[in-house]
């Protein structure tokens, strides 16, 4: 595992420790429906946090707010000490560089090869040279086990392979935070394990902060430092996975876990 | 019915000249409509009503009024405003402008058909807006719109004879000239009628082949 | 502009409307006959109808008009009144496009409906009249509305033959006044108003027909698909 291609605490002494993400009094409504209601929530640097809960409870909305795909109606969002919302566009673009996201539907660019999918943003956004970006893309593809597929187009890959490319693409931007939005939900069951193994490796060998929405409870138990149980736009229970999964305090958590486990 | 083959052979040299002009109009007119249509489609996406309203109104107007009258308008009015162009240039611009009001809708549909996840991925990678358009959205939209654009090229082919009304000698113009000089109407008009059918049939075969290739 | 010139324009409007109504009726008749024939069970009927469509869509409306005005009379000894010559050329050409609309809408009816008709032992014509057409016709209205606008624009072509329609009256006024911007602007505006009214009428028709089969009209106006060849599949 070429860990040097990924953020590493020893090699990046400048990286922040302590609180990395902070949501304060964040409210998000869709029409009359309030998805998040004055939510307070923070994540420490390097932690792996899993959000669980019934669908519609606002988990994905949090990821989408952090990725600026949605705007909150109220509240503030801070990442690494800099405000992401409310903030002027220029600042949003700067702060957003610290965040990467992997989507349920992969969202690879079908008009580009695998290699170009990964190098596009480092070259145009970070101003990396094409060679350096390709070199790094190759390392990342090795990490996700897809070195043979650089010149293929996404449509030629299986869902699991596409999702691994999407993970490599997100990591190529060297984000401090990786948002994982139900990354295995769209996959055929036999392809799920390969993707989760890659994510386990990344969780184990890097200091990247992960925020993960998933229905894979075993995976959540493996990688999480902290599990947050959401219900109706609020965190009703949180703690280390051992505690949440074995001795949940809240009735709703127990119901939810017995339904999914 | 009396059919005179010698009239056909007499007309053929004029026919080829006319065909060349027709194809010229078609090629340049198509390019004008592709470019202008894209411009309209992109302008219509701007968030300000100060742009979308006038662009929407003008294109709606051009789309719903006869190309023939638009040709007259440009041909007779532009010189009054001190802008003189050849009849051919005026005609090509008019037909390109007219069809751009159709191609803009093709582009719009093509752009809207790009999944929203592509925009989201571009945001997640922090791609600048311009780069998102040129590297992600438009390449995908253009692939989707090629068959529809091709259909409009074939439709445009059948409108090129209108340029005859502003004295452009394309196929129909030559046929009419020949008819008046030799007083033989049947042969030249039938020849170009068949020519239109053959060209548009070949073009639609070509288009279907292209469509099949793009589908892969 | 003097009132005499306005009178000329109004006469032109009247000719355009007459021509529009006549050729729209002919085009509608052709659309249904040829469109239904293209779904016929005998291949020869389908072939002939398909051949008609390909030929008349393949050629240009203006070339058709020239043909009807100059080739038909000596060939067949008919001398048509200009209005009928224009109606014939436009009706046959736009009818070919319309037949594609009819065929498409008929093919889009759920095949189970046809099977239902067979199960009730309807004759093919009864199936067409009682089951397929009532469901297909409301779906045809939006594309027919676009085709009608294209036909309106097509009527201007007869002015090249010297028929005194709206476009022709514009040319006369230009010659009389030696000034073009104003008159052509008016002419274009009049066409636009007619097109707008036609769209309104067709939308009302769609609403009524769709209410008849318990559906809602399309919320959006569709992108007009003018005289465009939707490749035959």
Say if CB C128 and CB C36 are below 8 A apart.
yes
pLDDT at A7: 52
Residue A20: closest CA among A175, A157, A186, A205: A175
**Which residues does chain B have within 8 Å of residue A169's beta carbon, measured at their own beta carbons?**
125
pLDDT at C58: 87
Contact B193 C167 (CB under 8 A): no
Angle formed by the axes of helices B5-43 and B171-182, nearest 10°: 150
pLDDT at C14: 95
pLDDT at B128: 93
Task: Give every strand in the sheet of A19-30, ordered side by side.
Answer: A33-44, A19-30, A74-79, A82-85
For A62, counting Cβ atoms within 10 Å of its Cβ (0-12 exposed, 13-18 middle, 19+ buried), the class is buried
Q: How many residues does chain B have?
A: 216
Cα dihedral sign, B116-B122-B126-B129: negative
**Which residues does chain B have within 8 Å of residue C59's beta carbon, measured at their own beta carbons?**
158, 193, 196-197, 200
Q: What is the pLDDT of residues A96-113, one digit of tens each?
A: 999 999 999 999 999 999
pLDDT at A6: 55
Q: Do chains B and C touch (3 or more CB pairs under 8 A)?
A: yes
Contact A173 B125 (CB under 8 A): yes
Strand partners, A153: none
pLDDT at A1: 43
- Residue B46 belongs to what H/E stretch? none
Alpha helices by DSSP H, chain A: 59-66, 89-96, 114-124, 130-143, 159-171, 189-205, 217-223, 241-246, 251-260
Q: What is the pLDDT of residues B85-135, one digit of tens each?
A: 999 999 999 999 999 999 999 999 999 999 999 999 999 999 999 999 999
Distance from CA of B97 to the nearest CA of A (A): 30
Alpha helices by DSSP H, C133-215: 133-155, 166-177, 181-212
pLDDT at A16: 54
What mean pLDDT do residues B168-194 have? 91
Rounded to whole angstroms, the Cα distance separating A173 from A55 reads 30
Rounded to whole angstroms, the Cα distance separating A130 from A116 reads 10
Phi-psi region of A25 (alpha: psi -120 to 50; beta: other; left: phi over 0): left
Which structural domains are found in chain B, ordered by start? 13-171 (1.10.3720.10)
pLDDT at C29: 96
Rounded to whole angstroms, the Cα distance separating A200 from A223 reads 6
- Kindly give the pairing relationship between strand A209-213 and strand A226-231: unpaired
Residue pLDDT tens, chain A, 261 long: 444 555 554 444 445 568 899 999 999 999 888 899 889 889 999 999 999 988 888 899 999 999 999 999 999 999 999 999 899 999 999 999 999 999 999 999 999 999 999 999 999 999 999 999 999 999 999 999 998 999 999 999 999 999 999 999 999 999 999 999 999 999 998 999 999 999 999 999 888 999 999 988 888 998 999 999 988 888 899 999 989 988 888 888 988 988 887
Contact A125 B140 (CB under 8 A): no
- Which residue from B193, B204, B211 is facing C229, i.e. has the nearest CB? B204
Say if CB A14 and CB A192 are below 8 A apart.
no
Q: Show the tokens assigned to B199.
A: 């060209």
φ, ψ (nearest 5 deg) of residue C220: -95, 150
| pTM of model > 0.90 | no
Does B159 contact C at CB distance below 8 Å?
A: yes
Q: Do chains B and A touch (3 or more CB pairs under 8 A)?
A: yes
Rounded to whole angstroms, the Cα distance separating A189 from C32 reads 51
Say if CB C82 and CB C168 are below 8 A apart.
no
What is the four-CA torsion angle of C190, C196, C198, C200, rounded to 10 degrees? -150
Domain boundaries A3-260, CATH class: alpha beta
Cα dihedral sign, C33-C34-C35-C41: positive
For residue A187, what is the DSSP state?
S
pLDDT at C228: 42
Does B152 contact C at CB distance below 8 Å?
A: yes
Domain boundaries C3-212, CATH class: mainly alpha
Contact A120 B126 (CB under 8 A): no
Does C97 contact B at CB distance below 8 Å?
A: no
Does C74 contact B at CB distance below 8 Å?
A: yes
Contact B128 A105 (CB under 8 A): no
Distance of CA C97 to the CA centre of its chain: 8
Q: Which residue has the tokens 């970006």?
A: A133
pLDDT under 70 in chain C at which residues? 218-233
Q: When comparing pLDDT for B114 and B2, which is higher? A: B114
Enumerate the domain spans of chain C: 3-212
pLDDT at B4: 84
Does C77 contact B at CB distance below 8 Å?
A: no
pLDDT at C117: 82
pLDDT at C230: 36
- Which residue from C58, C76, C181 is facing B77, i.e. has the nearest CB? C181
Q: Spell out the residues 6+ positions from residue A53 whose beta carbon is closer than 8 angstroms to its own.
A: A59, A229, A230, A231, A256
Contact B124 A105 (CB under 8 A): no
**Which residues does chain B have within 8 Å of residue C171's beta carbon, measured at their own beta carbons?**
72
Q: Show the tokens assigned to A100.
A: 């990467």
Say if CB B7 and CB B182 are below 8 A apart.
yes
Rounded to whole angstroms, the Cα distance separating B34 from B142 reads 11
Q: What is the pLDDT of residues A48-70, one digit of tens each?
A: 999 998 888 889 999 999 999 99
**Which residues does chain A have within 8 Å of residue B123's beta carbon, measured at their own beta carbons?**
67-69, 96
ipTM above 0.95, yes or no: no
- B164 to each of A83, B87, B167, B174, how far by Cα in Å? 65, 9, 5, 9
For residue B81, what is the DSSP state?
T
**Which residues does chain B have within 8 Å of residue A173's beta carbon, measured at their own beta carbons?**
125-126
Does B77 contact C at CB distance below 8 Å?
A: yes
- C116 to each of C38, C109, C121, C124, how far by Cα in Å? 21, 12, 9, 12
């Amino acid at each position: 595992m070429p860990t040097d291609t990924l953020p590493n605490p020893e090699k990046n002494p400048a990286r922040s420790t302590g609180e990395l993400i902070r949501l304060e009094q964040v409210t998000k409504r869709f029409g009359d429906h309030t998805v998040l209601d004055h939510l307070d929530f923070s994540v420490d640097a390097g932690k792996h946090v899993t959000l669980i809960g019934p669908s519609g409870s606002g988990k994905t909305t949090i990821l989408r707010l952090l990725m600026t795909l949605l705007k909150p109606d109220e509240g503030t969002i801070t990442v690494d000490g800099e405000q992401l919302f409310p903030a002027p566009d220029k600042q949003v673009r700067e702060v957003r560089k610290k965040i990467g996201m992997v989507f349920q539907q992969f969202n690879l660019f079908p008009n580009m090869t695998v290699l170009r999918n990964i190098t596009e943003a480092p070259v145009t956004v970070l101003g990396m040279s094409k060679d350096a970006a390709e070199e790094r893309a190759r390392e990342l593809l090795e990490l996700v086990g897809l070195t043979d597929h650089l010149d293929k187009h996404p449509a030629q890959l299986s869902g699991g392979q596409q999702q691994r490319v999407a993970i490599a693409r997100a990591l190529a931007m060297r984000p401090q935070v990786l948002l994982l939005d139900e990354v295995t939900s769209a996959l055929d069951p036999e392809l799920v394990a390969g993707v989760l193994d890659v994510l386990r490796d990344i969780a184990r060998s890097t200091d990247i902060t992960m925020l993960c929405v998933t229905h894979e409870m075993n995976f959540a138990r493996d990688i999480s430092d902290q599990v947050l149980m959401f219900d109706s736009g609020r965190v009703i229970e949180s703690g280390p996975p051992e505690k949440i999964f074995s001795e949940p305090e809240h009735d709703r958590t127990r119901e939810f876990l017995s339904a999914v486990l | 019915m009396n059919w005179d083959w010698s009239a056909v052979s007499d007309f053929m040299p004029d026919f080829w000249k006319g065909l060349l002009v027709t194809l010229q109009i078609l090629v340049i007119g198509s390019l004008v409509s592709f470019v202008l249509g894209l411009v309209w489609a992109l302008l219509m996406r701007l968030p300000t009503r100060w742009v979308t309203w006038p662009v929407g109104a003008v294109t709606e107007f051009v789309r719903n009024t006869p190309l023939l009258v638009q040709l007259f308008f440009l041909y007779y009015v532009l010189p009054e405003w001190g802008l003189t162009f050849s009849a051919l240039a005026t005609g090509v611009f008019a037909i390109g402008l007219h069809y751009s009001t159709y191609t803009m809708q093709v582009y719009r549909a093509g752009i809207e058909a790009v999944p929203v996840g592509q925009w989201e991925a571009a945001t997640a990678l922090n791609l600048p807006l311009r780069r998102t358009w040129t590297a992600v959205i438009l390449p995908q939209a253009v692939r989707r719109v090629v068959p529809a654009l091709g259909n409009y090229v074939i439709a445009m082919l059948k409108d090129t004879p209108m340029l005859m009304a502003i004295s452009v000698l394309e196929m129909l113009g030559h046929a009419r000239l020949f008819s008046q000089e030799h007083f033989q109407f049947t042969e030249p008009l039938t020849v170009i009628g068949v020519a239109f059918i053959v060209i548009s049939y070949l073009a639609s075969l070509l288009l279907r082949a292209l469509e099949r290739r793009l589908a892969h | 502009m003097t009132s005499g010139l306005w009178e000329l324009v109004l006469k032109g409007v009247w000719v355009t409307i007459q021509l529009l109504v006549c050729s729209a009726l002919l085009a509608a008749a052709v659309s249904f006959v040829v469109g239904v024939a293209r779904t016929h069970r005998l291949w020869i009927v389908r072939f002939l109808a398909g051949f008609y469509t390909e030929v008349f869509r393949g050629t240009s409306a203006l070339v058709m008009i020239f043909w009807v005005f100059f080739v038909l009379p000596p060939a067949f000894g008919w001398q048509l009144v200009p209005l009928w010559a224009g109606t014939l050329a436009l009706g046959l050409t736009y009818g070919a496009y319309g037949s594609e609309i009819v065929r498409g809408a008929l093919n889009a009816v759920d095949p189970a409906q046809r099977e239902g008709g067979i199960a009730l032992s309807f004759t093919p014509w009864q199936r067409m009249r009682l089951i397929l057409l009532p469901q297909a016709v409301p779906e045809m209205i939006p594309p027919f509305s676009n085709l009608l606008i294209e036909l309106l624009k097509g009527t201007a072509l007869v002015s090249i033959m010297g028929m005194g329609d709206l476009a022709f009256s514009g040319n006369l006024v230009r010659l009389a006044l030696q000034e073009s911007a104003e008159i052509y602007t008016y002419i274009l505006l009049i066409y636009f108003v007619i097109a707008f009214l036609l769209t309104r009428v067709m939308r009302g028709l769609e609403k009524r027909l769709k209410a008849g089969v318990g559906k809602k009209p399309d919320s959006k106006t569709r992108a007009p698909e003018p005289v465009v060849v939707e490749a035959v599949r």
